[in-house]
């Protein structure tokens, strides 16, 4: 039961396995199938009363471990989508948004585009298989005994989250800086020649420049995403091992 609880938490928070387009029974079935494979290979925890408070605490802890592991990859994709939000705002695409069933909120088109690109590249790199491999082969490193849990994994999760914010800003920085320069030039032009309709010129100019910059950034963006995924898998393994490290 405890491996199933941990895998269920992972299936809820992981970006690919926890997508809302995937029905909940399918996710639970995947978690149950993996739990059947893993259960004979892991160390049995101390016996607890199934109806007692210790069992409830153990269940909540195992689900929390799974949620923390899935959050590592979730934050990675969220940063890519946040970079799309930054770029879309500078391009004047703040109004081009639609409802996203995955997040339950309105999402900009460019943010959705970069998120889908990141997801497809993650699948092309077999990232989903590597995540499952790390999750299964290192399952014994996070003990099922809650008394042996360590806080190192949570520290690694916080460090990884902090580093990703700067990574997202670096992804959006070239295009945002270029569009900001155009906006400053439009402001200077408006002061020097007020008779010109800067708004009618500036919006299509920033939009076209943004599209051109995205086209130029695409080859480098794929390399950047592949590096980000390798770092994310390393952070996933570090969090996985750190949660099982005694303080």
pLDDT single digits (tens) 134-192: 777 666 655 555 555 555 555 665 665 666 666 667 777 777 787 778 778 777 777 77
Beta-bridge partners for 106: 99
Q: Name the band, by pLDDT with cuts 50, 70 and 90, for residue 48.
A: low
Contact 11, 28 (CB under 8 A): yes
What does the pLDDT read at residue 246? 43
Three-class DSSP labels, 196-207: CCHHHHHHHHHH
Question: Which H or E run contains 107?
Answer: strand 106-108
CA distance 206 to 181: 10
Count CB atoms within 10 A of the CB of residue 82. 20
């Amino acid at each position: 039961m405890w491996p199933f609880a941990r895998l269920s938490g992972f299936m809820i928070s992981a970006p690919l396995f926890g997508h809302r387009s995937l029905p909940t029974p399918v996710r639970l079935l995947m978690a149950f199938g993996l739990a059947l494979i893993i259960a004979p290979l892991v160390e049995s925890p101390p016996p607890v009363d199934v109806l007692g408070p210790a069992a409830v605490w153990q269940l909540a802890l195992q689900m929390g471990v799974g949620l923390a592991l899935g959050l590592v990859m979730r934050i990675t994709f969220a940063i890519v989508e946040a970079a799309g939000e930054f770029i879309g705002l500078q391009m004047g695409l703040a109004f081009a948004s639609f409802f996203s069933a995955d997040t339950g909120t309105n999402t900009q088109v460019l943010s959705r585009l970069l998120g889908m690109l990141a997801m497809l590249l993650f699948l092309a790199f077999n990232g989903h298989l590597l995540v499952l491999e790390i999750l299964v082969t290192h399952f014994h490193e996070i003990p099922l005994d809650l008394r042996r849990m360590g806080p190192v994994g949570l520290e690694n999760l916080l460090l990884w989250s902090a580093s990703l914010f700067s990574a997202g800003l670096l992804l959006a920085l070239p295009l945002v800086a270029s569009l900001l320069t155009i906006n400053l030039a439009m402001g200077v032009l408006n002061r020097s020649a007020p008779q010109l309709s800067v708004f009618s010129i500036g919006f299509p100019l920033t939009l076209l420049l943004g599209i051109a910059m995205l086209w130029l950034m695409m080859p480098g963006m794929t390399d950047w995403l592949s590096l980000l995924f390798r770092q994310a898998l390393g952070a996933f393994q570090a969090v996985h091992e750190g949660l099982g490290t005694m303080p």
